[in-house]
Structure 1
Amino acid sequence: MKVLFVPNYSREAAAEGARQLAEWLEEQNVEVAWAPDKKLFPNAPADTEDVNLVVSLGGDGTLLRAARLVGYQEIPIMGISYGHLGFLTCGEPDEMFKLVEAALVGELHASKRATLDIEVEFEQEDDSTCMEHHFALNDMALTHGARGDMIVFDVAVSGHHIDRLRGDGFVVSTATGSTGYALAAGGPIVTPEFKGMVCVPVAPHTLMARAFLTSPSDVVEITISDERNADRLFYADGQPIGDGKHRGIKATVRRGPSDIILLDHSSRSFYESVSRVFYGKAGQ
């Protein structure tokens, strides 16, 4: 048995909790591995070979980092909340040992969450193009740059042109990401059982543009128009895509080839989290 820790090293309580949990697991002959510190080694991968469980210790951002490290490998992930919202996490620090023990013996509920497979095409100085490929659990976002200029772009789904939009950007999210940037942009909260994508315009300059849902097999294409020479930035789960030197001209988003497995208390955990975080009904 092998457990990979992904702590938020910047939070002293999370790092100390990870050390205590590591000592407890090693006493039970469970092998422990550690993800590198993101601030010191921002692009370093984690060794996930033979890992049976990933434990995230931090907030939802730390769990999203754990998901990026796992990618499409379908290694179960559980989160211990040392953050503010803890929407994606499984429990609090005082439950940590009990929850990890339950996870190791298969007693926690496994929620399969759809992922995104993202390709962004960039224009280089010599007019050639290059492509970047990214994983996301939450979303892909197109946003404007520091100048705040309106972006003009076309949206198509599986080859069918939907509209040319003018606005601050566009979000393509999973059901998991529907409670993140997509929600802030006016999109719906979607149950994790939904396997399609949630498409939400960000501050569109029209009264007609609305969020819409796709089927799991659909492909969403966002193509930047030459109508306006505006800055445009692409993000996967809040992490920048590209080096900032080349202009993104097109994003293609489809469902990932496999899911992320999140461990939680029960199939009701999602709705309990929605009630607690967005409606302020903790403990009711």
Structure 2
Amino acid sequence: MKVLLVPNYTRPDALEDAKRLARWLGDQGVEADTLPDKRLEQMDDYDPAGLDLVVSLGGDGTLLRAANVVGYTEVPIVGVSYGHLGFLTSAEPVDLYAVVESALAGRMHVSHRSTLDIEATFLTPEGSCVTRHAFALNEMSISRGGRGDIIEFDVWVTGNHIDKLRGDGFVVSTATGSTGYALAAGGPIVTPEFSGMVCVPVAPHTIMARAFLTSPADVVEVSMSPERPAERCIFADGQPVGEGDTLLHASCRRGPGDVLMLDKSARSFYASVSRVFYGEAGK
């Protein structure tokens, strides 16, 4: 068996536990790799082929990095919380060895999380058009640039024009991402079993625009208005796509593979919602 460890390199406790876990796995006859520090490696180009498990040791950002490594390959991920929020993680450091042992033995609940396949077209400084693809577990977000000008764009869903909007941006999230940027922008909390997309305008200059949900088969498109050439940026799970180029158009659809997140039970999501967003209401 082969396991990839993805630690948060800014947390000494997570890094030290990753080293101990690698030694422990080796003693069990399991091959263990550790993903390098992203501050030293600009791109996560690790080949997930042959992996049986990925262990994320950090917060939600570390788990998103782990998801970006496995992409659509459906290698299972278990998250151990060393962060401040830990909404996506399923265990605490004290349970590290027990939860990894359970994951390798196939004794944990598997939560299938839908992903996003993002395609964006840009105009380069040299005047040519290029298309880039990106993976996301949480969301695609389009936002205004550093100069602060609002942006104008058209939103389409599977060929149906929804509206021309002005505002700070637009978020297309999965159910997993519904508790991230989409929630902060006013969207709903959505169960992981929902496999469509959550579309949320960010600070729209109208009281009419509202969040809406799509079906799993829909394609969401955002076309930037040529009449308002303000700076605009696009991100996949918070990471810039096509940095330095001018965004013209972006499309987003359900990815060809899910992310398999391991947790304690099917009730883990609602326990986390109660803990993080409702202060364990009713406890």
Range into which the TM-score falls when normalised by the shorter chain: over 0.9
Structure-1 residue corresponding to 2:34: 34
Counterpart position of 1:191: 191
Shift in Å at residue 210 of structure 1?
0.1
Map Cα deviations across residues 203-248 of structure 1 (whole Å, 9 max, x no partner): 000010000000000000000002222110000000000132x100
Match of 1:170 in 2: 170
Q: Which residue of 2 aligns with 1:22?
A: 22
SS in structure 2 of the partner of residue 66 of structure 1: helix
Q: Secondary structure at the match of 2:132?
A: strand
SS for the counterpart of 2:94 is: helix
Q: 1:1-284, aligned counterparts within 5 Å?
A: 1-244=1-244, 246-281=245-280, 284=283
Q: Which letter does structure 2 place at the counterpart of 1:259?
A: D
TM-align CA RMSD: 1.1
Q: Distance in 1 between the 2:136 and 2:155 partners?
A: 20
1:88: how far off?
0.4
Superposed displacement of residue 126, structure 1: 4.7
| 1:150-197 Cα deviation digits (max 9, x unpaired) | 100000000010000000000000000000000000000000000000
Cα deviation for residue 95 of structure 1 reads 0.5
1:33-82, CA deviations, whole angstroms, 9 ceiling, x for partnerless residues? Answer: 11121111121422322110000000000000000000010000000000
- Per-residue deviation, 1:128: 2.8
Q: Is the 8 A contact 2:44 2:69 kept in 1?
A: no
Change in 2 beyond 3 A, CA 1:44/1:80: same
Which whole-Å CA distance do the structure 2 matches of 1:248 and 1:136 have between them? 18
Which whole-Å CA distance do the structure 1 matches of 2:196 and 2:267 have between them? 21
Size of the aligned set, in residue pairs, is 283
**TM-score normalized with structure 1 length:** 0.98
Q: Tell me if structure 2 keeps the 8 A contact 1:36–1:45.
A: no
Measure, in 2, the Cα distance between the counterparts of 1:270 and 1:212: 22
Normalising to structure 2: TM-score of the pair?
0.98
Q: Decide whether the 8 Å contact of 1:54 with 1:76 is kept in 2.
A: yes
Say which SS state the counterpart of residue 29 (structure 2) adopts: coil
Secondary structure of 2:192's counterpart equals coil
Residues 220, 252 of structure 2: 8 Å contact kept: yes
CA distances 1:95-128 after superposition (whole Å, capped 9, x unpaired): 1111001001000000000000001100124543
The one-letter code of the counterpart of 1:227 is E
Cα distance in 2, alignment partners of residues 182 and 58 from structure 1: 22
Rounded to whole Å, the distance in 2 between the matches of 1:141 and 1:192 is 19
Q: Secondary structure of the equivalent of 1:267?
A: coil
Secondary structure of the residue aligned to 2:161 is strand
Give the Cα separation in 2 of the matches to 1:254 and 1:270: 24
Q: AA paired with 1:26? A: G
Does the 8 Å contact 2:59/2:83 carry over to 1? yes
1:183 is paired with a residue whose SS is helix
State the AA in 2 paired with 1:278: F
Q: Distance in 2 between matches of 1:237 and 1:126?
A: 28
- Structure 1's consecutive aligned runs of 4 or more residues displaced over 6 angstroms after TM superposition are none
Query: Contact conserved, 1:35 with 1:45, CA < 8 A, in 2?
Result: no
Q: List gaps (5 residues or longer) in structure 2.
A: none
How many Å apart are 1:283 and its aligned residue? 9.7
Return 5+ residue gaps in structure 1 as ranges. Answer: none
